[in-house]
Structure 1
């Protein structure tokens, strides 16, 4: 049987991995928020999405988090009139990415907080293991 502290650390680590990937996706979206297509009328950067889900870890005998899917957002691109832009179509319209900075900042904040919560679980588990070792030494 797996020690509960080891299981907690493993589950927290899986959550931290998932949130780290989520932060990378958000960072990519923010970095490309104004990236237009390379040629006239071409599509710009398309917002990336990540779907997290629950999975059962048989070794731990507990539920854990995992990345279910990496994909792209299907919402329509924003269109802006900018005839001087190299990506402008014949009418002078430029397609802009479907990245909403407010949504990205909210996702970043939530992912950061979730990551920090996992880090606190890891710290507490390490502290409890250390205290147990100290108790065994003094016994």
Structure 2
């Protein structure tokens, strides 16, 4: 029974990680037009798999993307300097959409694994009752 509970723990850790990843993607999309905003990336801590380890992937630190921000020419903008430029953000919406899809698919895979482990433990309990 411990193997099934370990798989539930690992898949729930994966669900938590992917939900945090989606949260950061949504923050990036929401701030895509914010001047000076730097894209946030979530680092992932993984451990080597062993049968005694119930630790799944864990969210690490939030890292700011070091890609240079765009210099946008708009002399009417309140943040524009003397040359008419201001710093935009380094968020690329195409990359954010791809990251959101990848996180969504990984979330669905973890959810499916969680559901299967739950069904298997239910079936095991039914067999033990008979």
**Normalised TM-score (structure 1):** 0.86
- Provide the C-alpha distance between the structure 2 equivalents of 1:79 and 1:22, rounded to a whole number of angstroms: 28
Report whether the alignment pairs 1:61 with 2:53.
yes
Unaligned runs of 5+ in 2: none
Q: Which residue of 2 aligns with 1:25?
A: 24
> Partner of 1:90 in structure 2?
82
Q: CA RMSD in A?
A: 1.9
More strand by share: 1
1:61 counterpart SS class: coil
Query: Size of the alignment, in residue pairs?
Result: 130
Segments of 4+ in structure 1 off by > 4 A?
A: 56-60
Counterpart check, 1:14 vs 2:13:
yes
CA distance in 2, matches of 1:78, 1:8: 44
**Structure 1 unpaired stretches of 5+:** 37-43
Q: How does 1:1-139 map to 2 (within 5 A)?
A: 3-36=2-35, 44-55=36-47, 60-62=52-54, 64-137=56-129, 139=130
